[in-house]
Every structure is written in C-alpha cells, then in structure tokens.
Amino acid sequence: MDETRVELEQEKKIYEAPAVSQAAVTTDQILGALANGMSFEEIEKQFNIKRKDIISALSCTLKNVMEEVVCVSRKS
C-alpha cells in the first residue's frame, strides 16, 4: 500500500486531518463518503482524486487505528 500519497506533516494537514497529496481532501472526507455509501468511482469524480488515493487514505487510517492505545476502565 502506498501511504506516501497521504500527507501527515503539519503543514499539509487540512483542519488538522491527514490530507491526500495534491488534493484538498482529507482522509476524513474520503472515509465519510465511503461510510455514506459512495462508490470508489463516485468519490474519484466528487473529489477529483484517483483510486490509489482512496486506498492510501484507507491504509493510512488503518495504520493510525492500529497504533492507537485504548484504555478501558472497568468498574469493580
């Protein structure tokens, strides 16, 4: 997976979210579009990006989720 298409540097972020290189679209926008039932083809047209940009956004998000540490407090 080519995560290099997703910019994580502070100056490349849009509204503090990782953004697709060379496009004014965040990974959040891509995930939201997918969650709302848009197809890859619809997203490509809507945001003027390529399929590999969508895949990169998914890969980047998965990597970030996998690195998150979730602490669960259990009541006694």
Angle, vertex CA 31, rays to CA 42 and CA 49, nearest 5 = 45
pTM: 0.67
CA dist., res. 54 & res. 49, Å (int) = 8
pLDDT, tens digit (0-9, with 9 covering 90-100), for 17-29: 666 666 678 888 9
Q: What is the pLDDT of residue 11?
A: 44
For the chain, give the mean pLDDT. 76
Alpha carbon distance 22, 2 (integer Å): 15
Residue that wins the pLDDT comparison between 70 and 36: 36
In this prediction, residue 10 has a pLDDT band, given cuts at 50, 70 and 90, of: very low
- Two structure tokens written together for 53: 């940009």
Distance CA(62)–CA(49), nearest Å, equals 20
pLDDT tens readout for residues 65-76: 887 756 555 655
Domain ranges of the chain: 3-67
